[in-house]
Amino acid sequence: MLGRLAESLYGLAATAYHRRWDRRGGTRVAVPVISVGNLTVGGNGKTPFVIELVRVLREHFPDLCERHRIAVLSRGYGRHSGELCVVEAESHWTDSGDEPLLIKRSCPDTLVIAHARRLESARMAIDRFDSKLIILDDGFQHRALARDLDLVLLDAHKPLGNGRLLPVGPLREPVTALERATHLVSVGTGGEVASLAERFDRPMFAVEPRPLSDIWPDRPVGPVFLLTGVARPERVRSFLEFAGFTVVGHRAFRDHHAFTEAELHSVAETAGRSGAATVLTTAKDAVRIPAWDGSLPLEVCPYELRLSAPEALVECVACLFSHDVV
């Protein structure tokens, strides 16, 4: 009963918020803006998709290969500072947020700015760094900045979770919000996202994880212990088991968790007793691990997404540019 009441109140607040922005509209800036976002909370591969999007854009638009021509704007969830942060590879995650830092380290020539006010970040990117294209990270519900493409990532197998709004389900807003999207992005293979694309008459892109055998040829052998602090740890474990790993133990912390030395020491001891040969963690978690002194080696499991048909997205982006921009 309380759950339904909370869901109803949340739904009313979300609807009122977006109706105000529907009437007002976001502020448009001088360069194209691509928003990458979710309808549900966490765990849909948004950060790996942003990294893949940057890779595809740099591959197909040579002028975007110049330093800072692409800017990624993120709120930087989990960081301890509210100040605007121009993220560098050497930044501390408490200043930048773990996801912006991972994006910067994966895409070193890309400008990454962490700040709650994305419009302010966009103006800085354009005026100070001469950025020519902006990627708005986790931007679907952030309406202050107008966008030219609004890409919404959805899990291929269960795109709407249980179909309920927060706090009793994963939906940030009603499914009808997909009418705002320009494109849906299916993460993985499955027919449910295609059904939603047909229902809302939206084009669909698809991305799939690259096989670990392609990107991690020297992967460890033997049983592993998994350490995570992500939104959907069960997905990480399933991914590893599907790739052939034997996971003999798993310690899951909340998303964006700040690992302490005591916690890492406890994990190391538990892993040592589990019979594991290696401790595995994610790239996102690795930026939050200050040091590792366990008896077992700690290795970072890579995770990359690839667009199944990048040409369609490239064509959409090409339409955004006039000849004198790129």
Q: Over range 122-145, report the average pLDDT.
A: 98
Q: Is the pLDDT of residue 116 over 50?
A: yes
Residues 160 and 246 in one domain: no
Residues 100 and 185 in one domain: yes
Q: What is the pLDDT of residue 2?
A: 75
Write down the mean pLDDT value for the chain: 95
Residues 62 and 194 in one domain: yes
Asked whether residue 92 is domain-assigned, the answer is yes
Helix-helix angle 310-320:46-60, to 10 degrees: 70
Domain range for 82 is 2-209+306-320
Residues 185 and 224 in one domain: no
Beta bridge partners of 295: none
- Judged by DSSP in three states, 159 sits in coil
Q: What is the pLDDT of residue 325?
A: 41
Residues 310 and 298 in one domain: no
DSSP string, 175-244: GGGGGG-SEEEEESS-SHHHHHHHHTT--EEEEEEPPHHHH-TT---S-EEEEE-SS-HHHHHHHHHHTT
Residues 20 and 141 in one domain: yes
Segment 183-237, tens digit of pLDDT: 999 999 877 999 999 999 999 999 999 999 999 999 999 999 999 999 999 999 9
**Cβ neighbours, 10 Å, residue 5:** 10
Answer for the pair 15, 180: CB distance below 8 angstroms, yes or no.
no
Q: Is the pLDDT of residue 81 over 90?
A: no
Whole-model pTM: value is 0.95
Q: What is the pLDDT of residue 90?
A: 97
Q: Over range 71-85, report the average pLDDT.
A: 94
Residues 200 and 299 in one domain: no
Q: Over range 305-315, report the average pLDDT.
A: 96
Q: What is the pLDDT of residue 322?
A: 66
Residues 205 and 216 in one domain: no
Asked whether residue 325 is domain-assigned, the answer is no
Residues 62 and 77 in one domain: yes
Q: Is the pLDDT of residue 324 over 70?
A: no
Distance CA 248, CA 75 (A): 35
The CATH number assigned to the domain holding 143 equals 3.40.50
Residues 140 and 237 in one domain: no
Q: Rounded to an integer, what is the distance from CA 83 to the centroid of its chain?
A: 21
Distance CA 252, CA 280 (A): 12
Token pair for 273: 């007793």
Strands in 247-252's sheet, in edge-to-edge order, are 247-252, 224-228, 278-282, 298-301
Number of domains in the chain: 2
DSSP string, 114-156: E-S-HHHHHHHHHHHH--SEEEEET-TT--SB--SEEEEEEES
Residues 48 and 148 in one domain: yes
Higher per-residue confidence, 82 vs 288: 288
Residues 12 and 105 in one domain: yes
Asked whether residue 326 is domain-assigned, the answer is no
Q: What is the pLDDT of residue 326?
A: 39
Segment 264-296, tens digit of pLDDT: 999 999 999 999 999 999 999 999 999 999 999
Banded model confidence at residue 303, pLDDT cuts 50, 70, 90: very high
